[in-house]
């Protein structure tokens, strides 16, 4: 999904449904990673749409030793200027957000 398509989806949601919450949150484990979300009430119930933008991973380094019980960590090297985006939709069920299948998204899918 492109930024333009995401803005169109947000506009459509704001026109047709009651928006409960909207915002942008930084991803704590990814530099320059952002999660833009909108929560609204629809005929299906409470829905949350997320548009996740993060830098492309250029390289992955595993740091650790071969000793038993030693800890291994993974270090990622991110691109400074290349980004990719992901779109996800969730439905509120039994006190928790449950991800919806891509086939059920209909007009929201890319």
Residues 84-105, mean pLDDT to the nearest whole number: 86
Question: What per-residue confidence (pLDDT) applies to 109?
Answer: 52
54 in Cβ contact with 8 (< 8 Å): no
pLDDT at 103 over 70: no
pTM for this model (two decimals):
0.78
Please give the span between the terminal C-alpha atoms of the chain, in angstroms, as a whole number.
5
Question: What per-residue confidence (pLDDT) applies to 107?
Answer: 53
Of 31-40, 50-59, 64-73, least confident by mean pLDDT is 64-73
Q: Is 1 exposed, middle or buried (0-12, 13-18, 19+ CB in 10 A)?
A: middle
CA distances from residue 91 to 10, 58, 75, 80 in whole angstroms, order as listed: 16, 33, 33, 34
pLDDT digits (tens, 9 = 90+) for 13-47: 999 999 999 999 998 888 889 999 999 999 989 99
């Amino acid at each position: 999904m492109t930024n333009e398509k995401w803005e169109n989806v947000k506009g459509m949601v704001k026109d047709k449904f009651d928006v409960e919450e909207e915002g942008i949150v930084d991803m704590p484990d990814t530099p320059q990673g952002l999660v833009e979300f909108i929560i609204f009430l629809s005929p299906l119930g409470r829905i949350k749409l997320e548009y996740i933008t993060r830098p492309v991973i250029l390289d992955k380094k595993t740091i650790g030793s071969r000793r038993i019980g030693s800890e291994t960590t993974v270090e990622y090297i991110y691109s400074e200027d290349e980004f990719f985006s992901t779109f996800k939709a969730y439905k509120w069920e039994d006190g928790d957000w449950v991800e919806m299948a891509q086939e059920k998204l209909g007009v929201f899918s890319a």
